Amino acid sequence: MARFKTRARAVDMLGRQQIAGLPNAISELFKNAHDAYADRVEVDYIRPDNIFILRDDGIGMTKEDFEDRWLTLGTESKLATSKGLPPPPIDPDKKPRPILGEKGIGRLAIAAIGPQVLVLTRAKRNKKLHNLVAAFIHWGLFEAPGVNLDDVEIPIREFVGGTLPDSNDIQEMVEEVRQNVEKLKDYFEKDSVKKIIKDLEGFNINPLELADFLGKPSLQEDKNGGTHFYIFPASDNLAADVDADLRDEKVSKLRKLLLGFSNTMIPDTESPPIKTAFRCWLTYGQQKDLISEREFFTPEDFLKADHHIQGEFDELGQFKGTVTIYNEKPIEHVVSWPKALGKPVSCGPFKINIAYVMGTARESKLSQDEYVKISRKLDRISGLYIYRDGIRILPYGDSEFDFLRMEERRSKQASYYFFSYRRIFGAIEITREHNSNLIEKAGREGFQENKAYREFKDILINFFIQIAADFFREKGEGEYVDIFLRKKAELDKLERARREQEKQSAAARRAFSNDLESFFSRIQNGKFDEEIVQLLESFSNTIDSICKEKDADEGPNEILLAENRALRKLEALKNSLKIDKPGGVGLTRELKRDWQVYLSEVNRIEKEVIVPTQKRIREIVDKAIKETKFVVNRRRHVSKLLKEFITLQQKSLNEQADLTNASIKETQERIAALLKGILADMNSIIKEIETEFNKLDPERTQDEYFSEFRQKSERRLAEAVEGYKEILDHIRTQLRNITWSKDEEGHLIGEADMKAALEDEVLALREQTELSLEMTQLGMAIEIISHEFNNAIKAIRNNLRQLKAWADLNPELQQLYKNLRANFDHLDGYLSLFTPLNRRLYRKAVTITGAEIANYLKDLFGDRLERHKVQLVVTKAFRKKTIIAYPSTFYPVFVNLVDNSIFWLKDRSLPRKIELDANDDAFIVTDNGPGIPIRDHEAVFELGFTRKPGGQGLGLYVSRESLRKEGYELELEKSIEGKGATFRIITKSAEQKDKEL
């Protein structure tokens, strides 16, 4: 009697060659973990060493399970049958789970991830943990032609309790495989044997070390079982996918297909039975989870969408559920499948719950930021996901797998078919119990194209076409289309209005910013002061000329006229500084700051320049009158000046009144023209309806058509009237908003002020959001740096202790030790700003002298100072000053100040100088660089503010905050731009400290 024989190649064909790709292979292992009642299944891809590790905390396998189930092809234990192996064990402490695997070959997909695998598994049965089982497989052995399956040997070991195999144990198993290769080498090509041997020689994985590094889930614990796979080397395709994701160029196939393994996007659904993770380790201290729940659609994302459809398809393919348009009241709706003909569908009943986001922001109810955020996800992972018993079926959900051909239909006429596969996300939920005829392909490439799947697709295609017709089709006859079109038009109008308002506000802010910039430039370059000096010189010369050339009759009047002209010129100069804050426009944080500095500067100029200049003009006049002994009637002159001023102010007010009246008249004319146009359009529609009605022949037209014509005409007229009423209501609303009231100080507050306040709030929130994002990114970077730093800190500290012991005995090493210690504390100082106090590294307050700081700075910046020809001048007072403090607090501050000074000095003309000075209260750092503009005196200490190209705006903020935490202060002295900058590090005196104690 003849029998089938099984070649080893069957394993390769059923596994590596059949599986659709790496993501499908990993998904199969995730499903196996689900069937093993794991709570977690996690991948750690260690990129530097190309190691792929998959761990779960499920019920694991005994040695018998591993041999009879895992190493047996096509096991029937997961099938609902009483024959063959009994069903696999379950976890009695957990809710029963539907079995996802059924063919008994999914585990063979491991071969697609890498050529060799170490399997570690520990069974948990009846709350008792078994011994750990280890096995090693090289999948290359299953590629040789002519080798029977039972010729391939799989080394297996058992380890007592939670003992993990060490390197020697692993190498023993690897050696067994190598010997097996030697026996079978005649079946292989020489190159294949070399490759396998090379792989075996490179398998130096130590589970003990990796377990300590990775942490939970661990097989060493006394509570958990599970199965772990150590695969090396991982496939080159895996590296390519992961590298693309890390560069954030695009979302890889790997990420697309592994995100959303469980249905976590739908609100108010039961928590998934298993959680997944895929961490890529860039180094042994830096990792990124590529499939975290936040990377996938969240319930919050789902609720924010513009439209929602939720319901069930029954056994006849009929949908019954709700459709929600733009958060309006959910509408109960039914969609029948015309091909059912009263017969149950083969695919079985199923549920659907989807969300849809409009293609343009102006048609969406989402805010601009929300729209951008969710669109970024849609661009990457949009689509309809299919979940069987809560676990994703691949490749459904991949935006490139449009199995309902939505984009194909939409390309014919977007407004007719409406739905885009790239703007939709949601879940179709099926179960093994009700949808058993939907059978997955062996390669996990979707469902088999059987009758059930064809009906399933046809039901959904018909459903989306009908929903588009009933709710979303423009110029359609659908019962609910008006709701969608009306709301869409409202959003479109609001968005256009917002953009126009933003455009106008941006233009006003830009003009306001330019005015402020011109003001500060005029003040800082001394041009305004020059104009004042020129005015006084010209006036003085004029007075001298009058005194020499005019007699007692003409002289007094000429002097007073000259005084009047000088005061008017001074007033004009003062008014030339005037800047009007734009009404009804919100200001950014920077503009608000500049506005406050402007007001302060104008007040200073009034007190320190304008008033003294007026006084000086009077002094010149009084001196001239006294010396010439002219007789001057001051009272009459003042009366004349006062009348001229009153006339001038009345004229100015009348001009504004005329402009206001002109605006009122213009508004009236525009409203009248609008009303006239509306009435004309209305009459035109009525005439068109009457003309069409008169064309109807009563004898040839059916009664039904007359009724239909009446309904159509009434709807047309009613829609037109509603539109006109909406326009007029909008006009009335705007007119009603022309109102004002007085605050407690009697100032008028109008609509423009309230609008400006709202814009201020929006801009502030927007800036805060941007800052929060930057700080989040900064925090992530700091966390990575801190992690890396902490990994090395123990060794550094031990070495420093050893060096100190030598330095204590060898004076020549003491300075070296001090410098190393200062640098070490310098790093600690930066990191400690972002670390809670209880986690800071050990630091000690010591006596710091100015001389030590100066030497440190010269060592650090010596090359740069020489390269840029900058002198570092250290005064005696600085060298002698001492303070008891943390070097890690003070040294970074001096480093930052000197670094900034060098940057701004390097392009200045010689000499270039930085001076370190001190007095009883402070250390002082001064340079002769360009200085800091008045407007930036406080801004330089704000987080994120910088005028340095490529700067981050962190240095001075961090320096001031670190000093304040220790009770000190960093201040910038007021200076004139172009005259350098002076910073003071305020220290506490001994007396102050004694008082505080």
Give the whole-angstrom CA distance, residue 55 versus residue 119: 10
Q: Which of the pair, 411 or 660, is modelled with greater confidence? A: 411
Within 8 A by CB and 6+ apart from 346, the residues are: 437, 450, 451, 452, 455
Residue 737 reports pLDDT greater than 60 = yes
Residue 65 reports pLDDT greater than 70 = yes
Residue 967 identity (one-letter amino acid): G
Give the whole-angstrom CA distance, residue 263 versus residue 297: 10
Closest C-alpha among 164, 214, 212 to residue 43: 214
Give me the pLDDT at residue 950, please.
Answer: 60
Give me the pLDDT at residue 841, please.
Answer: 40
530: tokens are 């020059």
Handedness of CA 518, 521, 522, 523 (dihedral sign): positive
Which contiguous run of DSSP H or E holds residue 760? helix 751-809
Give the whole-angstrom CA distance, residue 366 versus residue 794: 50
Residue 823 reports pLDDT greater than 80 = no
Give me the pLDDT at residue 834, please.
Answer: 44
Q: Which pLDDT band holds residue 989 (cuts at 50, 70, 90)?
A: very low
Q: What is the mean pLDDT of residues 367-390?
A: 91
Q: What values do phi and psi take at 904, rounded to 5?
A: -80, -15
Give me the pLDDT at residue 756, please.
Answer: 55
Q: What is the mean pLDDT of residues 188-201?
A: 89
Domain 297-479 adopts which CATH fold? Ribosomal Protein S5; domain 2 (3.30.230)
Q: Which pLDDT band holds residue 240 (cuts at 50, 70, 90)?
A: confident
CA atoms within 13 A on the CB side of 147: 26
The region of weakest confidence among 114-118, 778-782, 844-848 is 778-782
Give me the pLDDT at residue 742, please.
Answer: 58
Residue 157 reports pLDDT greater than 50 = yes
CA atoms within 13 A on the CB side of 264: 19
Whether 936 and 947 have beta carbons less than 8 Å apart is answered as yes
Residue 40 reports pLDDT greater than 90 = yes
520: tokens are 């500060």
Determine the straight-line distance between the first and last CA of the chain, rounded to whole angstroms.
Answer: 102
The region of weakest confidence among 472-481, 594-603, 788-797 is 788-797
Residue 326 reports pLDDT greater than 90 = yes
The region of weakest confidence among 64-68, 315-319, 326-330, 952-956 is 952-956
DSSP letter (8 states) at residue 988: -
The region of weakest confidence among 483-497, 533-547, 565-579, 765-779 is 765-779
Give me the pLDDT at residue 994, please.
Answer: 44
Q: What is the mean pLDDT of residues 944-958?
A: 70
Give me the pLDDT at residue 967, please.
Answer: 79
Residue 572 reports pLDDT greater than 50 = yes
Give me the pLDDT at residue 251, please.
Answer: 80
Closest C-alpha among 361, 376, 379 to residue 502: 361
Q: Which of the pair, 227 or 593, is modelled with greater confidence? A: 227
Give the whole-angstrom CA distance, residue 701 versus residue 689: 17
Q: Which pLDDT band holds residue 751 (cuts at 50, 70, 90)?
A: low
The percent of residues in the chain predicted with pLDDT above 70, rounded, is 81
Give me the pLDDT at residue 345, please.
Answer: 94
Give the whole-angstrom CA distance, residue 590 versus residue 600: 15
Residue 995 reports pLDDT greater than 50 = no
Q: What is the mean pLDDT of residues 632-644?
A: 69
Cβ-defined contacts of 33-36 (< 8 Å, 24+): 33/58, 33/227, 33/274, 34/97, 34/100, 34/273, 34/274, 34/391, 35/78, 35/88, 35/97, 35/99, 35/100, 35/101, 36/60, 36/88, 36/226, 36/227
Which of the listed CATH numbers 1.25.10, 1.10.3470, 3.30.565, 3.30.420 matches domain 21-73+104-281? Answer: 3.30.565
Alpha-carbon Rg for the chain in angstroms: 41
Give the whole-angstrom CA distance, residue 484 versus residue 490: 10
The region of weakest confidence among 305-319, 509-523, 673-687, 702-716 is 702-716
Give me the pLDDT at residue 504, please.
Answer: 81
Beta-strand relationship, 391-392 and 383-388? antiparallel
The region of weakest confidence among 313-327, 505-519, 744-758 is 744-758
The packing angle between helices 811-832 and 751-809, to 10°, is 160
The percent of residues in the chain predicted with pLDDT above 90, rounded, is 23
Query: Could you report the per-residue pLDDT of 608-628, keeping only the tens digit for each?
Result: 888 888 888 888 877 777 777
pTM listed for this prediction:
0.65
Architecture per CATH, domain 844-996, reads as: 2-Layer Sandwich (3.30)
611: tokens are 């008033």
Q: What is the mean pLDDT of residues 937-964?
A: 73
Residue 832 reports pLDDT greater than 80 = no
Query: Could you report the per-residue pLDDT of 852-888, keeping only the tens digit for each?
Result: 888 888 877 877 888 888 888 888 888 888 888 877 7
Q: Which pLDDT band holds residue 497 (cuts at 50, 70, 90)?
A: confident
Give me the pLDDT at residue 991, please.
Answer: 43
Q: Which of the pair, 190 or 41, is modelled with greater confidence? A: 41
Residue 311 identity (one-letter amino acid): G
Query: Could you report the per-residue pLDDT of 419-471, keeping only the tens digit for each?
Result: 999 999 999 999 999 999 999 887 678 899 999 999 999 999 999 999 999 99
Give me the pLDDT at residue 1, please.
Answer: 56
DSSP characters for 250-276? S--HHHHHHTTSB--SSTTPPPPS-EE
Give the whole-angstrom CA distance, residue 913 versus residue 901: 9
DSSP characters for 43-87? EEEETTTTEEEEEE-S----HHHIIIIITSTT--TTSS-SSSSPP
Residue 933 reports pLDDT greater than 50 = yes
Q: What is the mean pLDDT of residues 390-412?
A: 90
Give the whole-angstrom CA distance, residue 253 versus residue 400: 10
Q: What values do phi and psi take at 665, rounded to 5?
A: -65, -45
